[in-house]
Structure 1
Amino acid sequence: MSIRNGLVALAALAFAFPALAMTPALTVISEGPAPQRRAVQLIVRSERASRDFQIQVTAPGTPPILPGQTAPAIYVLDGGYDIAGPTGWLLGGAGAIAPAYVITIGYPPGGPFTRERDLLFAPGTRPDGTVAKGGGGAAFRAFLLEELKPFMETRYPLDPKSAVLFGHSLSGIFTANMLADRPEAFSGYLIASPSLWADPSVIDRLRTVSARAPGRKVFVAWGAKEEPYMTDGGQKVSAALSSDPARLTLRTKAFENEQHISYYPLVMSAAFPFLLPRAAPIRHPSPIALTRAQTERYFGTYALSDGRKVTIGEDEDGMLLEVEGAPAANIHAEALDRFYIHGVDARITFDAGPGPPAALVFYVNGAEARAVRK
């Protein structure tokens, strides 16, 4: 086996979990690789919204692999402009955020593009006097909360108490409405350039969010060079949420010299670390050399609490870790009995002693599990 990058080796574990029973109201029409690297694409039929949606799922580079371990999810509207998934993957891999699944929601190519109807709960008057159709917001919200979110939490090892909703522009005002009406649905909200012109009534409801669902985190942003009615929307949403800092954690940022869409890539790098901080920084230990006589005591098969085997062996590149059902990865010694996988937050500690260790402890992203020698 050639030298492996630990990030790539563990990334393949992300989709190793078998799909369980589907939420009955959500029908998967097709599934396959997405145009974006490392993503899976699903076309699903929603009973609640009576239409199809394109879902792309980008798993973190170091996904949950230990028994009972879960990861946060970031739900991104408007399809994430095809950059949300790769950005989330990079931020997680760089240690800037807790490794998270990025789930983008858009529309299948060639199908009806019902964005305006889905994101607004009622018709709204644009600043130019024309009417935005609206009216489908309740059905789209039901699709997100009653169909898609439960389906994803069944299919992937997600933590239902650690989920972020991200919307920009029209999807920003939808996200503001979600926070106002169903604040308990997500632990964090990223509201970017909310189109407040479409639904100014949300402001009064936002003022009471902290009392109804304390503990939320909210990031509100806009481009400083946007049209005044757009910057006004961001400012008013931020002001409505700022009255109770003890129960709602708010961060606001106006991106200097940026227009309506130009700051979109920047807002993720600013907001995601605030909304989903890592429990601890990624360690970057220096390897030490061990002799074959020192390492062979670790070789063997160990069992996790869920019955999966962890095998420690070797190849031409050194010691090798294999978790049943997942790709192998080389491990490197940082001390006697302590090993790590390069570039990720994953390490292995063996029971000390002169003979074969009775067990090892496997650490991944702050979680740990003990595996006993078979």
Structure 2
Amino acid sequence: MMERTMRHGETRPGRRHVLGGGLAGLALLVGPEARAAALPGRVPFALARAEEWSLTARNGRRYRVLLSWPPGEVPEAGWPVLYALDGNAMFEVLTGACRFLPDASQGVIVAIDFPLDDTEEARRDFEYTLPVPEGFSEVRGRHGGADALLAVIEHELRPLVEAAFRIDPARRALFGHSYGGLFALHALFTRTQSFSTYLAASPSIWWGGGVLLREAESFAAHPAPHGAPPRLLMTFGSLEGRLRPDGTVVPPGGQRRIMGDNVRELAERLHALPGRFGALEVQEFVGENHGSVRAAAAGRAVPFAFLA
């Protein structure tokens, strides 16, 4: 079941209303009365060509979905679409990156997250991580919900998106950061044809003591499915995983969770598979850590997905 939240009126091609996703208004360090007096023209700000959906999946789980779309007429083949995890954090930066592109090169952003009032403990850890064998000693806490979330995206959310927008089925991308990057690579290795482009930002390849790498081995061992080969972009920040608590630098290879080493090693494995990828790129962002790299990753991911 899906509900839309009305926030802002504007015409969308082929639709009666446009529902605006909310950006917070200007925050000044004064009370509301003083702000109103100082800024008599002050009005709430809403992101144009955007809306929010409330989705209750068939399994009873609720999701907050934020969407934005390009200006102008829909191309004959349909717009490309980028599905992203951690939507509450990533929607506006992904939409901003999209709107820096020429109008004709933009696409639909579909950012998925949990409702703002959600109180389920460790839900992100559960829904973004891989299933592992029972009793597997490398994993603690709730985990293993990635396949269920992938099923919601593929079989429940995607039909709703493609009923609301004309989408090019050959240009569907999936973006995730950190555990979301792990999720994107899991989708690539286990459901290769679900998306045409996979965007793994700072993927938690270390998680589960190598479970993802075993999926990569299985992916390599099986023949490529029919159809266009997938495209893959992996990105990371140069400061990720390299500092000890005392501020000293960990030497390369000296820590299991060093992001750049893990990404490059996986890329080397995948580059050794001729013909399995339409594109396979790795990009390091100098001076960025695990948090700050998200904006840089989004800025690279969107053109990689939409300018293909």
TM-score, structure 1 normalization: 0.60
- CA shift for structure 1 position 63: 4.5
Structure-1 separation of matches of 2:213 and 2:139: 22
Structure-1 separation of matches of 2:168 and 2:157: 14
CA displacement, residues 195-223 of structure 1 (integer Å, 9 cap, x when unaligned): 12224222243353682365211001111
Distance change (3 Å), C-alpha of 1:264 and 1:206: same
Structure-2 separation of matches of 1:84 and 1:76: 11
Quick check: which one's helix share is greater? 2
Structure-1 separation of matches of 2:196 and 2:11: 26
Residue pairs, 1:64-83, within 5 angstroms: 64=74, 68-79=76-87, 80-83=89-92
Count of residues paired in the alignment: 248
Distance change (3 Å), C-alpha of 1:146 and 1:153: same
User: Residue 62 of structure 2 aligns with which residue?
Assistant: 52
Structure-2 separation of matches of 1:115 and 1:167: 12
Distance change (3 Å), C-alpha of 1:198 and 1:108: same
TM-score, structure 2 normalization: 0.72
Question: Equivalent of 2:276, from 243, 247, 272?
Answer: 247
- CA shift for structure 1 position 271: 2.9
User: Residue 191 of structure 1 aligns with which residue?
Assistant: 200
User: Residue 225 of structure 2 aligns with which residue?
Assistant: 212
Query: Contact 1:122/1:135 (CA < 8 Å) preserved in 2?
Result: yes
User: Residue 98 of structure 1 aligns with which residue?
Assistant: 105
Percent identity (aligned)? 22
- CA shift for structure 1 position 107: 1.1
Distance change (3 Å), C-alpha of 1:57 and 1:34: same
Distance change (3 Å), C-alpha of 1:157 and 1:106: same
- CA shift for structure 1 position 245: 4.8
Query: Is residue 266 of structure 1 aligned with residue 275 of structure 2?
Result: no
Query: Contact 2:10/2:19 (CA < 8 Å) preserved in 1?
Result: no
CA displacement, residues 316-337 of structure 1 (integer Å, 9 cap, x when unaligned): xxxxxxxxxxxxxxxxxxxxxx
Quick check: which one's strand share is greater? 1
Query: Contact 1:118/1:137 (CA < 8 Å) preserved in 2?
Result: yes
Question: Equivalent of 1:35, from 15, 19, 22?
Answer: 22
Distance change (3 Å), C-alpha of 1:163 and 1:99: same
Structure-1 separation of matches of 2:216 and 2:132: 20
Query: Is residue 202 of structure 1 aligned with residue 215 of structure 2?
Result: no
User: Residue 118 of structure 2 aligns with which residue?
Assistant: 111
- CA shift for structure 1 position 110: 1.1
Report the secondary structure of 1:215's partner residue.
coil
Query: Contact 1:118/1:135 (CA < 8 Å) preserved in 2?
Result: yes
Which runs of 5 or more residues in structure 1 are unaligned? 1-10, 20-30, 279-374
Structure-1 separation of matches of 2:191 and 2:16: 31
Residue pairs, 1:1-374, within 5 angstroms: 14=12, 16-17=14-15, 32-36=19-23, 37-38=47-48, 39-48=50-59, 50-64=60-74, 68-79=76-87, 80-92=89-101, 94=102, 98-113=105-120, 114-122=123-131, 131-199=140-208, 200-207=210-217, 208=219, 211-212=224-225, 214-227=228-241, 228=255, 229=257, 230-248=259-277, 249-277=279-307
- CA shift for structure 1 position 267: 1.7
Identify which range, 198-207 or 188-197, moves more after superposition: 198-207
Structure-2 separation of matches of 1:85 and 1:221: 15
CA displacement, residues 112-166 of structure 1 (integer Å, 9 cap, x when unaligned): 3511111112369xxxx88242122221111011111122111211112211000
Query: Contact 1:88/1:102 (CA < 8 Å) preserved in 2?
Result: no
Which runs of 5 or more residues in structure 2 are unaligned? 1-8, 24-46, 242-254
Counterpart residue identity of residue 75, structure 1 = Y
Query: Contact 1:193/1:221 (CA < 8 Å) preserved in 2?
Result: yes
Structure-2 separation of matches of 1:138 and 1:246: 27
Structure-2 separation of matches of 1:251 and 1:57: 27
Counterpart residue identity of residue 14, structure 2 = A
CA displacement, residues 148-186 of structure 1 (integer Å, 9 cap, x when unaligned): 112211121111221100000001101110000001000
CA displacement, residues 17-52 of structure 1 (integer Å, 9 cap, x when unaligned): 379xxxxxxxxxxx953214021001110114x310
Counterpart residue identity of residue 52, structure 2 = Q
